[in-house]
Amino acid sequence: MEVVILEITISPIGYVVSDFKEPEDMPLHGKSAVIEVDPKYVEGLKMIEHNSHLWILSWFDRADRNVMVKRPVRIDPNISEFGVFALRTPPRPNPIALSLVEFDGVSGNKLYVSKYDAAHGTPVLDIKPYFQKDIVFSPDTPDIRPATIEMKREWFMEEALQHHKELCHSLVIGVRMAAIADFILGKISDSKITVHTAGSACLFDTLQGLSRGRFANPPRVSIEIIAYAGDETSLWKSVWRKDNQQLTILCNPHKIFNMDLREIQEKQDDELFEVIHSS
C-alpha cells in the first residue's frame, strides 16, 4: 500500500518566558520558566491545577535540522555517537522536544513550571498532564553516563528528591553510595545488580528508587532496618552484587549526622565511606 507523505502545519499554543536566552546556556536539568499561553486557548487550561507534573511539547526552533547522529558531549566528551532518534538531543529533522516539568501554578494564561529545558522564546506546541500510568519503574535504556562521578551525584540527587521528597541526611548518604556503586559496577538499574541495604528506612527508600530494584520478579533489593539513635559505633552499609563482583560501602551515621548537609556534599568519598570491592 502506497504511503502518501503529507506536510503538516502546526501553530504554537504559546511561548516560553525564561531567564535563559540561548539554548546552549540552559542547564541539563532545566530551570524555572513561564509558559504564556495564547489567550484564545486559555479555556484549555481548565482543571490543570490538579496536576503536579506536565508534559510539554516544544519546537526547538534554533536546533540544527540536518543532523542525524550526535554525541551527548555535555554529559561525556568521549562518548560514542548515537542516532538522534536514540537520544533526546535538540538537533533532529523535526525538533520537537518532550519535557517533563514540575507544575508550580497557573494565573490567567500563564503557567509557572520548574525543570523546563526550553530557552526564552521557544514555541510551545502542546501541554499534556502526567498520568500515574506514564511511569516505567525499571526500563531498559542505553548507559549514557556522565564522565565524572560529581555529575552523576548531581543526577542522582535530582532523581532521589523526586522519589523521596525530602532532603535529609539519609538521602544524601544514599546518593553518595549510589554514585560510588554506579561508577564501579556500571548502571545500577541494570537487572544484574542487586543491593542489600542496612540502615534507615530513608536510606533504603533512596537506594531502591535510584536502583529501580524490586523485591521480586526479579528480586534485586533487600533491607535490614537500623535506625540511627545516636550510637557512635553503629554502621550503615549497602552491599552491591553484580556477576562475581561484590561492592560493600560502609559509613558511620553518627559521624555524618553531626555534619550539615552542605558539609557532607563537600567531603570526598574516602572521608565518609569505607569501600570494599572484590571479584
Does the pLDDT of residue 1 top 80, yes or no?
no
Mean pLDDT of 238-266: 95
- Residue 229 has a pLDDT of 80
Q: Spell out the domain ranges in the chain.
A: 14-60+95-134, 149-278
SS3 (DSSP) at 83: strand
Angle of CA points 278, 201, 279, to nearest 5°? 5
Predicted confidence (pLDDT) per residue in 124-169, tens digit: 999 999 998 888 877 788 878 888 899 999 999 999 998 999 999 9
Query: Whole-model pTM?
Result: 0.84
For position 57, what pLDDT does the model report? 98
For residue 3, what pLDDT band results from cuts at 50, 70 and 90? confident
Class of domain 14-60+95-134: mainly beta
pLDDT of 25 higher than 90: yes
Q: Judge: domain 149-278, CATH 3.30.1330.130.
A: yes
pLDDT in tens, 254-265: 999 999 999 998
Average pLDDT of the chain?
Answer: 93
Strands (E) located in the chain: 14-17, 31-37, 53-59, 69-70, 82-83, 96-107, 110-116, 123-129, 193-199, 221-225, 236-242, 245-251, 274-278
Residue 200 pLDDT grade (very low, low, confident, very high; cuts 50, 70, 90): very high
